[in-house]
Structure 1
Amino acid sequence: MTPPKPASRPDKVSLWTYARLFRRDILSAQPERLYRAWMAEFRTPFFRSFLVNQPDLVAEILKVRPDDFPKSDRIGEGLRPLLGNSVFLTNGETWKRQRRIIDPAFEGGRLRDTFPAMWAAAEAAVARLQEGKVEIEALTSHVAADVIFRTLFSIPIDHEIAAQVFTRFRDYQRSQPILNLAAFIPLPRWMPRFHRRATRDAARDIRALIGRLVEQRQAEIAAGTAPDDLATKIMTTRDPVTGECFSGAEMVDQVAIFFLAGHETSASALGWAMYLLATHPEWQDRVAGEAAEMAPEFSAISRLRISRDVFREALRLYPPVPMMVRTASCPERFRDRDVPTGAQLVLSPWHLHRHARLWEDPDGFDPARWGTENGRTCQREAFLPFSAGARVCPGAGFAMVEGPLILSMLVRAFCFAAVEGREPVPVAHLTVRSREGIWLEVTRRG
């Protein structure tokens, strides 16, 4: 069974039609030809953009010369009410300083320290799940948020403030498209950003709640009673260049992106992984068999090879962040095309992961591909679920422990089957989700 794709749009539409499609769902706005193109150019009255799929050019932008291609401010306009000046949106020296403080918290040894919290969150998810028809994205959102709060602040999702953040984030996710008007029309700084009122209100509430957690942790650090979790590690790490720590306001920005990146993206990937297993029962049985003897020890993660390949395949087919945009800071020439200063360079995991000239059976679900020569080559050159190069997600290793672990524990306890007539349709707002949720039939595994 081939996993569902969104419908492609016609190759020629007006700018305003395209903007409307892009605002509603960036996936169905994409023409079929882009799944074969190495590079494509789009011109509007306000800017020029280039979709880049050629692997060596993607590497040039992300790995070889990242400072020449900073993150585009256009995409950040839609997320700034929640994320402020977080590491996800900044560039240059500000971004480098932020990464110098954040990166040590996600080094290899810290994954072992966070594993018990991940296991506890997964156990809680198994205990909550009931038999019957279940909208599985609600479950994956809940468990991913639980993991973030347990590992970041040592509190479970049913903690008063954590529960409020989770609830308001669901409101934010439903009201916030990935792009707003400023993505299409350059607006002066003094002009309003046209964020929806519901988006602004939810972002304000979330940041206020996060601020309370940060203030409490600052007091615990000062008193010497703070737990040794990710929040404490980040808040007590000094920039080796300046000797400064994050201020409270800066920490609110960073926690906001940790929650968005660590919760929203993991929930997306887990939801699609569950659906793929539900529609491929032979792989579901293999995951369950592998997980049968799993013990609550960090070393167990290295033995979850099948689950890891399934999760990786879900990230390929449904990358949570479907597109990344960079800006050309100087004139370039790519594939005999002039790329002017200020042009937008779109790097699209959604297209790259399904590119017909790179992958064997690009639209098929095949976790075994990662052991083939084609799969290994494409993993190096055409697989960007966490970006790549200097701006690779610092939580990539975290996600590759969390995802296979939760997947294995759920499948060990339950069987999942697709619900007839409820095939999910992928759409993208903050991340790639299903338009009307992912509905699965859940029965307890005998």
Structure 2
Amino acid sequence: MIAPKPPSRPDRVSLWRYMRLFRRDILSAQPERLYRAWMAEFRTPFFRSYLANDPALLRTILKDRPSEFPKSNRIGEGLRPLLGNAVFLTNGATWEKQRRIIDPAFERGRLANSLPAMWDAGNAMVARVLDQIGSGAEVEIEEITSHAAADVIFRTLFSLPIEDATASAVFHEFRRYQRAQPILNLAAFVPLPRWMPRFHKPDTKAAATRIRALITDLTHRRMQEIRNGTAPDDLATRIMTTPDPETGETFTVKDMVDQVAIFFLAGHETSASALAWALYLCAADPKWQTAIADEAQHLTTPKDVKRLTTSRDVFRETLRLYPPVPMMVRETTRPETFRKRAIPKAAQLVLSPWHLHRHTRLWDDPDVFDPARWQMPESKQSIRDAYMPFSTGPRVCPGAGFAMAEGPLLLSMLLRAVSLSPVAGKAPQPVAHLTVRAKDGIWLHATLR
């Protein structure tokens, strides 16, 4: 099955046209040649930008010399009102301290503590879907997966189901924020002094303020529970009680609010996106849907997630075709020479999982949905060199293991209960704002299995 992808723009457009396309959708704003290029240069009056698909360059930037290529502040310009000083936006010593405190909570041995909460959220998702469809109905899948992913985050982070009043309020505010916030604002294209306003949309700023107020209330409550010795052993407690091994300091309330905001944005938005596309791909390819449903018949406890090999391969293939974060941006700290090309200091280095994962010179049939490739020996090099849905190297997403347990588990639980098929005339069109979503949603017909 050919997985849908957006149309590409003409190879040459004006800067103004590019900015307009980029704010509408960063995927269709790119030229077709990026699916076969090892490197591409984009020039603006204000900065140089280079897209790197060459695996050797990616190793240099992300693994060999990561500290010399920090995250670009241009992406942070649009997200700062919500994320503050979250680990997703920081560099250097600040980032290192944050990761020393955060990483232990996501270690493989402690991930098992989150599986029962994922299981409960999965059962709640199935119950909501069954109640919604009756004997059969058209459903908008992204709405379902957004609700489920938010439930997972709140159950694992704060031991609260999505039905909790504060959790529900945060979920609905995040939905507003996602719709209102473009990935870039003016300051991402035009360097502005620190004192100048960033021209964030009023709706975006208002939603960010409301979200942070709700998270602050949750964090204050948890801080008090920790002091009283009544806090549950969940992710929030583990992170808030973990001291930095070098300084002995723990996160302040403000620090924790910043981190919870990115946990929710990364853990909710990205998981919801990947799960929705996985369900669509299974609906469009019944062979794999049936294989997952059959495998899931043996799913009896949360720990059985490790046995979901078919579901895991389908989820990996989904992340290849629809990486939730389609592009990452780094910045040079000194002049470089890449592929015999002179790169100036302060140039933007765009690393694009979207193009890398569909690169015509790195993958066989790159636009084809084929989970079997994950068990094929001939795919090993592509998987090693050209697959990074969670980034790679020291800045790999700390929640990668969490996501690779959550996605296959929820996918299996839902497909064990319902059968999905595409709705005629409603093929989804991928677009990217904060994450890769469908322009008008993903509509599927659901019936009891």
TM-score range, shorter chain: over 0.9
Say whether residues 1:405 and 2:409 are aligned partners.
Answer: yes
Alignment root-mean-square deviation, CA: 0.6
Question: C-alpha separation between the residues in 2 aligned to 1:320 and 1:197?
Answer: 26
Question: C-alpha separation between the residues in 1 aligned to 2:305 and 2:175?
Answer: 30
Q: Which amino acid aligns with 1:302?
A: K
Correspondence 1:22-41 to 2 at 5 A: 22-41=22-41
Q: Which amino acid aligns with 1:414?
A: V
Correspondence 1:8-407 to 2 at 5 A: 8-129=8-129, 130-131=132-133, 132-298=137-303, 300-407=304-411
Cα drift, residue 119 of structure 1 = 0.2
Cα drift, residue 79 of structure 1 = 0.5
Question: C-alpha separation between the residues in 1 aligned to 2:224 and 2:20?
Answer: 47
Question: C-alpha separation between the residues in 2 aligned to 1:192 and 1:297?
Answer: 48
Q: Which amino acid aligns with 1:326?
A: R
Question: C-alpha separation between the residues in 1 aligned to 2:426 and 2:195?
Answer: 46
Answer whether contact 1:359 1:374 (CA < 8 A) is retained: no
Question: C-alpha separation between the residues in 2 aligned to 1:301 and 1:119?
Answer: 10
Question: C-alpha separation between the residues in 2 aligned to 1:91 and 1:442?
Answer: 45
Question: C-alpha separation between the residues in 2 aligned to 1:303 and 1:122?
Answer: 17
Cα drift, residue 375 of structure 1 = 2.2
Question: C-alpha separation between the residues in 1 aligned to 2:394 and 2:176?
Answer: 32
User: Where in structure 1 do 4 or more consecutive aligned residues deviate above 2 Å?
Assistant: none
Correspondence 1:433-444 to 2 at 5 A: 433-444=437-448
Question: C-alpha separation between the residues in 2 aligned to 1:212 and 1:127?
Answer: 30
Gaps of 5+ in 2: none
Q: Tell me what 2:427 maps to.
A: 423
Question: C-alpha separation between the residues in 1 aligned to 2:428 and 2:371?
Answer: 20
Residue by residue over 1:134-177, the C-alpha shift from the partner in whole angstroms, topping out at 9 and shown as x without a partner, is: 00000000000000000000000010100000010100000001
Cα drift, residue 117 of structure 1 = 0.2
Question: C-alpha separation between the residues in 1 aligned to 2:141 and 2:98?
Answer: 35
Question: C-alpha separation between the residues in 1 aligned to 2:295 and 2:163?
Answer: 31
Name the SS for the 1:394 alignment partner.
Answer: coil
Cα drift, residue 293 of structure 1 = 1.5
Question: C-alpha separation between the residues in 2 aligned to 1:439 and 1:197?
Answer: 31
Name the SS for the 2:447 alignment partner.
Answer: strand
Name the SS for the 1:30 alignment partner.
Answer: coil
Cα drift, residue 3 of structure 1 = 1.1
Normalising to structure 1: TM-score of the pair?
Answer: 0.99
Answer whether contact 1:9 1:30 (CA < 8 A) is retained: yes
Q: Which amino acid aligns with 2:244?
A: D
Residue by residue over 1:362-419, the C-alpha shift from the partner in whole angstroms, topping out at 9 and shown as x without a partner, is: 0000000011133221111110100000100000000000000000000000000000
Residue by residue over 1:37-72, the C-alpha shift from the partner in whole angstroms, topping out at 9 and shown as x without a partner, is: 000001100000100000010011001100000000
Answer whether contact 1:360 1:374 (CA < 8 A) is retained: no
Question: C-alpha separation between the residues in 2 aligned to 1:62 and 1:413?
Answer: 41
Question: C-alpha separation between the residues in 2 aligned to 1:302 and 1:249?
Answer: 36
Q: Tell me what 1:7 maps to.
A: 7
Question: C-alpha separation between the residues in 1 aligned to 2:243 and 2:384?
Answer: 33
Identity %: 68
Question: C-alpha separation between the residues in 2 aligned to 1:296 and 1:202?
Answer: 38
Question: C-alpha separation between the residues in 1 aligned to 2:138 and 2:275?
Answer: 17
Question: C-alpha separation between the residues in 2 aligned to 1:302 and 1:213?
Answer: 32
Residue by residue over 1:340-368, the C-alpha shift from the partner in whole angstroms, topping out at 9 and shown as x without a partner, is: 10000000000000000000000000000
Q: Which amino acid aligns with 1:141?
A: S
Question: C-alpha separation between the residues in 2 aligned to 1:162 and 1:224?
Answer: 23
Question: C-alpha separation between the residues in 2 aligned to 1:191 and 1:345?
Answer: 25
Name the SS for the 1:155 alignment partner.
Answer: coil
Name the SS for the 1:77 alignment partner.
Answer: helix
Question: C-alpha separation between the residues in 1 aligned to 2:34 and 2:268?
Answer: 30
Number of residues of Structure 1 aligned to a counterpart in Structure 2:
444
Q: Which amino acid aligns with 2:161?
A: P
Cα drift, residue 219 of structure 1 = 0.3
Q: Which amino acid aligns with 1:24?
A: R
Question: C-alpha separation between the residues in 2 aligned to 1:377 and 1:163?
Answer: 43
